[in-house]
Structure 1
Amino acid sequence: MPSSGPKLREVFGERQAEHGTVLVVVDQPASIGALSPPALARDTGCPVACPRADDAADRRSLFPARP
């Protein structure tokens, strides 16, 4: 994932053009600043989800790490 604002906007725009609605999922919302992928995603019309830590742990247990 690119880290610059213009590149992120480009990625979100390309995905929207190809797939329609694009959901951006953030797994560590506390460590992300204001000029971040979620802020840019919202600005480009993408919904953003921040699952609770308990939910993320539950999902990780469904997909064990590969050796």
Structure 2
Amino acid sequence: MSAPITTSRIDWRGVAISIDYRIRRFHGDFDHLEIRVLGDGIIPITETGYRSHWRAKPIRQRTLYKGY
């Protein structure tokens, strides 16, 4: 069974972004965050429109973008 996925879609300065957060990816001790630009647009954290980040400690849910 794969890790649970939390998906958020946000608009950052007119750029549509998808954020996927997987807890304990591949049943390991790491969480995985994937950020994708949907369509055309540029964001400062990626030149390609895709960013992947592994984290050894869990990301608290409230730290993900919630509109404030």
Q: TM-score, normalised by structure 1?
A: 0.25
**Greater share of helix:** 1
Q: Which one has a larger percent strand, Structure 1 or Structure 2?
A: 2
Considering Cα pairs closer than 8 Å and 6+ residues apart, tell me whether 1 or 2 has the greater RCO. Answer: 1
Greater C-alpha Rg? 1
Q: TM-score, normalised by structure 2?
A: 0.24
